[in-house]
Amino acid sequence: MTEFYVEGIEFPTADEAIQHMNASGFGPAIRIGGKNFVVTEAEAERLEAARIAFSYLHDHEGLIVTIPTNGFLTVAFKERPED
């Protein structure tokens, strides 16, 4: 199991993450390790390059769909240390 940080904004639901993505234009909404985030494009690319399994979240006519990316590593989250 790999431990890593996700740089992004966490949301309690996929719907809230998608709404924030659409309203802010910040970056893609993703689900990773059972958690929902909005991340920058650069963060999504970093996760892809590290071969971390996650899914992009999209709203398709009121239905939340996931688009899997990678499938190689199981993940565990670490608390981000305070700077």
Is residue 80 in a domain? no
Is residue 40 in a domain? yes
Tens of pLDDT, residues 52-83: 889 999 898 888 888 888 765 444 445 555 65
Mean pLDDT in residue range 32-49 = 93
Is residue 83 in a domain? no
Q: What is the CA angle 83-42-53, rounded to 5?
A: 95
Is residue 79 in a domain? no
Q: Is 4 exposed, middle or buried (0-12, 13-18, 19+ CB in 10 A)?
A: middle
Q: What is the pLDDT of residue 2?
A: 62
Is residue 82 in a domain? no
Range of the domain at 66: 2-74
Is residue 54 in a domain? yes
Number of domains in the chain: 1
